[in-house]
Amino acid sequence: MNKEFEQKRKELIEKLGVFLEEHDQFAPLAARILATTILYGKRGVTFDQLVSNLCASKSTISTHLTNLQSQKEISYFTKPGDRKKYFKVNKNRLLNKIDDTIAMWNRQKDIHKEVRDYKNAFNNLEDTCKDSLFDCHFHDEYIVFFDQAQAAISVLREKILSKIEIENKNN
């Protein structure tokens, strides 16, 4: 493989690994393993490649692979006549992340609705001074944002789901 291309993959593994550490709260090596499986794609990456590329011990790689599999982040497949396991990203991983995001947005939206409703009720009290009135415009706009964002990500989710269903029929 081209050395320049290999160097770019190493840089991306590190960059994506740092992101996964911060965003998804993975341990550093688990994040690098997941990043590696993402960048190796459908062809998969072997245990020996992970040990070599990530410069980690076999036991540490094995522990993280087991954890990532139990979390349904990655899976493996085998090839006829080859005793190796090839690890790849679980094809439902992105759908699961989208579902988690939608659920979080729904919780946030519900809280904003409650806060907005409380503020509106407070504003409607007879003895509320005009200087104490809440401006609920922010909450209304944020709720609209959540609805629009959820609609957009739901379209993406359906496209991904359709692609997975087509792949499953072809396999």
The sign one gets for the Cα dihedral 63, 64, 70, 74 is: negative
Task: Please give the average per-residue pLDDT across 46-73, as a whole number.
Answer: 96
pLDDT of residue 130: 79
DSSP assignment of 43-86: G-EEHHHHHHHHT--HHHHHHHHHHHHHTTSEEEEEETTEEEEE
> What pLDDT does residue 125 have?
84
The average pLDDT across 75-95 equals 92
pLDDT at 136 over 90: no
Over 80: is that where the pLDDT of 1 sits? Answer: no
Residue 85: CA count within 13 A, CB half-sphere: 12
Q: How far apart are CA 100 and CA 17, in angstroms?
A: 20
d(CA 28, CA 21): 6
How confident is the model over 89-110, as pLDDT tens digits?
998 888 988 999 999 999 999 9
User: 63-67, 81-85, 132-136: which range is least confident on average?
Assistant: 132-136
Kindly state the average pLDDT of the residues 139-147. 92
pLDDT over threshold 90, residue 57 = yes
Confidence of residue 171 (pLDDT cuts 50, 70, 90): low
Q: Give yes or no for residue 75 having a pLDDT over 70.
A: yes
Q: Is the pLDDT of residue 133 over 90?
A: no
**Identity of the residue numbered 107:** R
Sorted by where each begins, the domain ranges of the chain are: 3-89, 93-170
Residue 24 above 70 pLDDT?
A: yes
pLDDT (mean) for 51-56: 95
Domain 3-89 in CATH 3.40.605.10: no
Binning the chain into helix, strand and coil, the percentages to the nearest 5 are 75, 10, 15
Task: Evaluate if residue 84 carries a pLDDT over 70.
Answer: yes
